[in-house]
Amino acid sequence: MPKARIIYASMTGNTEAIAEMVSDHLLILGVDVETSKMESASPMDFLDADICVVATYTYGYGDLPDEAQNFYNQLSDVDLSGKVFGVIGSGDTSYGDVFCKAVDDFIAQFQLTNAKQGTDGVKIEFGPDGNSLVAIMEFAQQLQSSL
Ligand SMILES: Cc1cc2nc3c(=O)[nH]c(=O)nc-3n(C[C@H](O)[C@H](O)[C@H](O)COP(=O)(O)O)c2cc1C
């Protein structure tokens, strides 16, 4: 059974809810899933997974969450060859050009790990709703099928 590790940062719960939905869909697809909060995780935790997922909100003005900084910096030091990654996040479109910018930043950082990008980054306005459900399902589906 393939294994996914989902590591998320969430201050007010939106990204946590998104991470839970990604987990639910991967489980339906027959993937074993372990989910952790970023504060208590390390990029090394991805080493025993086939699918590596980061879920993050964006803070400040286009900034990474404070609790994501160390994790982000250490990510590029880990060799994730042979693994698939995906990044999903929550933000607020009123921030314009920096809507969910942390998603783009994490994709760039993952690209330094030798992991293969399994699907495009997904950016969700606040928490999951009817509109984002399809995007979340497709995110999980594409990660599973790109293994
Ligand atoms: C002070 C502050 C700064 C924010 N900056 C951004 C931003 O630059 N870009 C963005 O897309 N969203 C921004 N947001 C919106 C949050 O990313 C959004 O509310 C998100 O759903 C929070 O996720 P969480 O519930 O998982 O903590 C900001 C929110 C706050 C309170």
List, in sequence order, the alpha helices (H) in the chain. Answer: 14-28, 69-75, 101-110, 130-145
Distance CA(31)–CA(40), nearest Å, equals 23
* Cα 5–Cα 107–Cα 136 angle in degrees, nearest 5: 60
pLDDT digits (tens, 9 = 90+) for 84-113: 999 999 999 999 999 999 999 999 999 999
Ligand 1 site, CB within 6 A: 10-16, 57-62, 90-92, 95, 98-100, 126
Of ligand 1's listed atoms, the one at least distance from the Cα of 58 is 17
141 Cα to the center of ligand 1, angstroms? 26
pLDDT band at 57 (very low <50, low <70, confident <90, very high): very high
Tell me the mean pLDDT in the region 113-125: 98
For ligand 1, mutation pick of 38, 90, 99, 129 (most atoms within 8 Å of CB): 90
Whole-number Å distance between alpha carbons of 70 and 117: 22
Instruction: Report how far ligand 1's centroid is from the alpha carbon of 83 (Å).
Output: 29
Q: Whose CA is nearest to atom 17 of ligand 1?
A: 91
Per DSSP, helices labelled H in 12-129 are 14-28, 69-75, 101-110
- pLDDT number for residue 50: 98
Q: pLDDT band for 8, please (50, 70, 90 cuts).
A: very high
pLDDT given for residue 131 in this prediction: 87
CA of residue 8 to ligand 1 center, whole Å: 14
**Residue 8 domain boundaries:** 3-145
The domain tally of the chain equals 1
CATH number of the domain that residue 54 is part of: 3.40.50.360
Reported pTM = 0.98
Rounded CA gap, 121 and 79, in Å?
Answer: 20
